[in-house]
A and B are shown apart, each in its own frame.
Chain A
Amino acid sequence: MDLLVPSTGLLFWMSLTFLVVLFILWKFGFPVIVKMVSERKAFIDDSLRKAHEANEKLANIQKESESILQEAREKQASILKEAANTRDAIVEKAQDKAREEGARLISDAKIEIDNEKQAAISDIRKQVATLSVEIAEKILRENLGNDKAQMDLIDRMLDDVSSAENK
């Protein structure tokens, strides 16, 4: 039965010891451990969050760089295209100009040629006229070497004039 009766001495020492232990552990023991563990937990959570953010940022940067590259490529293509267009246009323009110039030159040349031709023709005509007059003079001078021939001619001429008047 005395197993079930708490003895005073033991109770006294137990209370004292337990309360002292409780005080010491309350003050210096468990809170340190618990605080550290919770701090470490917060630290780990924070680190995880940061890593996550960094990952996201990295992904964003990659995406951004890709988009920048894409944009650059597009720009390059458009610039190239524009340059080709401009070149084509310039070439076209130059060709047009050349053609025009050629045409103008040709037409100028034609006009000149025409003028020259006209001049040449009129010159030839003049010369032919002079020549023919001279030839005619020479012929006349030969044919009208006697009076009779002169008379015949006058007659024939008179005939021509009169026939012209009669008409």
Chain B
Amino acid sequence: MNHIKRLLGILMVMLAVLPTFANGKGGDPNIKDVVLEHIKDSYDWHITNIGDKPLVIHLPIIVNSSTGFHVFCSSQFSEVADAKGYRHGPFNLAIASKGDNAGKIVEIDKSGAELRPFDISITKTVAVMFIDVILLLCCILIPARWYKKRKAGDPAPKGFVGFIEMLVMYVIDEIIKPGVGKGYEKYTPYLLTCFFFIFTCNIMGLMPFPPGGGNVTGNIAVTFFLALCTFIIVQFSGNKHYWKDIFWPKVPTWLKAPVPVIPVIEFVGIFTKPFALMIRLFANMMAGHAIGLAITCIIFLVASRTAAVFLSMSALSILMSIFMMCLECLVCFIQAIVFTMLSAAFIGLARAEPEHE
């Protein structure tokens, strides 16, 4: 009974959103744009449309253009684009909607050419990431505070603190310890931070409205940085054996000199490992968001069809959405685990002592 009520509730919410699409665009909405708009970064946080008015959270713009540093609110950009596709703002800046810099802030010089300024604006993804990070800090520091007040002899924590402790100890015992091997303690904080950062961002990304909803871990810059951190840590924890295995591996000599075939392959391997980490997390999370959105959009696609088609397809879409949501919950956890596990394994491989023969 409870489940039916919940389903009805979801249906009602979706039907409530329906007119905004119908009114806003008229006719079939462009699904590709809707999905891409969500997945991509943007300078303001578009939540929904109430009637004809868009509900938008404006975010600060920070750019260093040819006229120096500028900090202002994204609401200063005009809402509609001109003929060239520019949404003009102050300081000769504009948001392009066409061309190479589509969706980015550009500086338009006197001749009308686009220049890309140094742009560290708080975009939607950054804002969502800040929220996620604050949540993450609360989730970890509150239990840490709880522990500080207690002694080893006190009873074990229950509820939220117990849950966090369980997660932390699970990651340490099941992922970091077997992956890194001896001396794993040094890497625990980094790997745990990785796990909890990815996990929090993933879970918050599932939420369809603020404070969640952003596509943080499905953004290549975020996964790039995480993979870069792992890459650097792996290279710095590599021992003599690790480097010898790359540049002078145990293979027949003609494979490594005079043409260093295997060393080259091994050397490329250094970079492909974190690259795979980066792409895996990015692709998984982005695909999850894209599929979830696309399935929900079925409802709006069939809205203009006959009632029978509309109702049956909507029901199907809702069922699929629920299924995808459950799957995504799983994927959120699994991707966080996989990233941590592979990072731990790479560190472990770099630190492995040669086997005694």
A32 to B140, CA, bound (A): 10
Closest to A1 in B: B100
Residues of B within 8 A of A33 (CB): 140, 143-144, 147, 164-165, 168
The reply on B308 being an interface residue by CB < 8 A is no
B84: interface (CB < 8 Å): no
- Say how far B164's CB is from chain A's closest CB, in angstroms: 7
List A residues 21-44 near B (Cβ within 8 Å).
Answer: 21-22, 24-26, 28-34, 36-37, 39-40, 42-43
A31-B133 Cα distance, complex, nearest whole Å: 18
Question: Which residues of A sit under 8 angstroms from B206, Cβ to Cβ?
Answer: none
Q: Is B120 an interface residue (CB 8 A)?
A: yes
Q: B168 contacts A14, CB within 8 Å? A: no
For A162, list chain B residues within 8 Å (CB): none
B172 part of interface (Cβ distance < 8 Å): yes
Return chain B residues, CB-CB under 8 Å to A3: 39-40, 220, 286
Bitwise interface map of B from 158 to 200 toward A, beta carbon under 8 Å scored 1, else 0: 0000001100110010000000000000001110110011000
Q: In the complex, are the beta carbons of B168 and A10 less than 8 A apart? A: no
Query: How many interface residues does B have (CB within 8 Å)?
Result: 51
- Of the candidates A9, A22, A24, which one forms a contact with B120 in the assembled complex, judged by CB atoms under 8 Å apart? A9
Check if B193 sits within 8 Å of A25, measured CB to CB. Answer: yes
Tell me whether B123 and A9 are in contact (CB under 8 A).
yes
Please name all residues of chain A whose beta carbon is closer than 8 Å to the beta carbon of B168 when the two chains form the complex.
Answer: 30, 33-34, 37
Q: Assess the A39–B152 pair: CB atoms within 8 A.
A: yes
Option from B122, B137, B156, B226 in Cβ contact (under 8 Å) with A40 = B156
Contact of A5 with B by CB under 8 A:
yes
The residues in B between 6 and 31 inclusive whose CB is less than 8 angstroms from any CB of A are: none
Q: Does A164 contact B (CB under 8 A)?
A: no
Most chain-B CB neighbours within 10 Å: which of A5, A15, A24, A29?
A29
Q: How far is the CB of B320 from chain A (nearest CB, A)?
A: 24
Say yes or no for B243: interface residue by CB 8 A criterion: no
In the bound assembly, the distance between CA atoms of A26 and B141 in angstroms comes to 11
Report which of B103, B189, B219 forms a contact with A30, defined as CB distance below 8 A. Answer: B189
Closest partner residue, chain B, to A40 (CB atom): B152
B268 at the interface (CB under 8 A from A): no
Q: When chains A and B are docked, how far (Å) is the Cα of A21 from the Cα of B229?
A: 13
Chain A nearest CB from B131 CB (Å) reads 11
- A146 neighbours in B (Cβ, 8 Å): none
Q: Which residues of A contact B122 (CB under 8 A)?
A: 13
Please tell me if B136 contacts chain A, counting CB pairs below 8 Å. Answer: yes
Write the chain B residue with the least CB distance to A19.
B229
- A residues lining the B interface (CB < 8 Å): 2-15, 17-18, 21-22, 24-26, 28-34, 36-37, 39-40, 42-43
A–B complex contacts, Cβ < 8 Å, 20 sampled: A3-B286, A7-B104, A7-B221, A8-B118, A9-B119, A9-B121, A9-B126, A10-B126, A12-B120, A13-B129, A15-B225, A17-B130, A21-B197, A22-B193, A24-B137, A26-B190, A30-B189, A30-B192, A34-B172, A34-B188
